[in-house]
Chain A
């Protein structure tokens, strides 16, 4: 047998910030709801009523999870669809007050694409990825602002944003705030003060294909899409009710585990944050070291092609993602890393979930230095 020097171990999926593996409660609820929740909940027969009961229960569970009223919750085909509905519907609802969207420079690209539809003011972040609150205050106080959009925590570097303070400035200016909470829901509490909020089930261990949008009472929201006969905000047509039921059940389960999981994963992230710069020369760990998501860490390695590193890690059994330009469909570096002014090549984002073990992280730390060294050597460094 050839000795490779790599410690053996099972493959480790470390890209929970893209999609978390399905939570066992979600799987159970999904199978049950597929059997019992396939009918159209709007119909007047017993199968329809059973579906309606499941739908009501799921909606009530989300309302409890977000501490809102059930009729403020709507379901969308993805987190992206929910975020874009929030932005476009929020802008349309306030068309009489203005036409400008204020957003941070580190929003999810879904929000940036929606922003590109009209007028927008971008507010920058510092080197750690924290919103410039003075610039935010000035931007939301300017005339003609219809809506403001702030991600709860950066999906790329994990920095938690000052949502409560940003909401305070919005409130003073009379501007509704949309918070894209995809990375926070199920892991930590979202501060109050927002008017619209979106989340995505597969980020917390629910099934893919479920986005949740909350529009608070009194916030004017007008659908940007042609509507069907139902009057509530929501996607036109039927929702994937079994998936929505599974999303609701799994959110309740992950919220119950959130405190202990957050402590456990945060310690593993701290280990990566400390060990990577000690084991690999010329590495920049990016994002706020303290005000950060519990499960996500990002670093950039000088002189390393991000795509080559992703493939090398994949061969070693690790699934991670990257904000480097060579790994992006746009062939541009991550707008988040650019906004922060940190190194964008050789970028790796590691995000952990309830199935991640200490042994996974130890093996990752054992394998990474050799892979980086080999890529650098090949490049002549």
Chain B
């Protein structure tokens, strides 16, 4: 699992970092994004839907997990 520390970064930066990083995990692998911008909780699941990746959930506040599907 890759963890991306995007705390303090404004949207869309956490989503951009996620998009740049997802190719570095294997298909089935997970990227965890740490982000405290209020838009992240909405935009990370929306990104997963648009880019056909799986939004796994938020294991703790300001943390969001995404599984690479393709």
Contacts and interface: CB of A to CB of B under 8 A. Distances in A.
Given A302-B12, A303-B16, A325 B39 contact: yes
A373 to B, nearest CB: 15
A344 to B, nearest CB: 5
Contacts of A289: none
Interface string A287-312: 00000000000001011110000000
B7 to A, nearest CB: 16
B38 A332 contact: yes
Contacts of B15: 302-303, 345
A257 interface: no
A338 interface: yes
Contacts of B47: 302, 343
A220 B42 CA distance: 40
A244 to B, nearest CB: 40
A154 interface: no
B18 to A, nearest CB: 10
Interface string B2-25: 000000001111011001100000
Contact of A333 (B13, B42, B50, B51): B42
Given A303-B19, A381-B16, A284 B46 contact: yes
Looking at chain B's contact residues, the main secondary structure is helix
A177 B61 CA distance: 37
A344 B46 contact: yes
Interface residues of A, number: 24
Given A343-B47, A380-B16, A381-B16, A326 B42 contact: no
B16 A324 contact: no
Contacts of A345: 11-12, 15, 39, 43
B50 A343 contact: yes
Interface centre among A303, A332, A341 (most CB of B within 10 A): A303
Contact of A341 (B13, B20, B39, B46): B46
Nearest to B20: A380
A233 interface: no
Interface of A: 282, 284, 300, 302-305, 324-326, 331-333, 337-338, 341-346, 379-381
11 contacts: A282-B50, A304-B12, A324-B39, A325-B38, A332-B38, A332-B39, A344-B43, A345-B11, A345-B15, A380-B20, A381-B19
Interface of B: 10-13, 15-16, 19-20, 37-39, 42-43, 45-47, 50-51
Nearest 5 A-B pairs (CB), nearest first? A343-B46, A345-B12, A333-B39, A345-B11, A325-B39
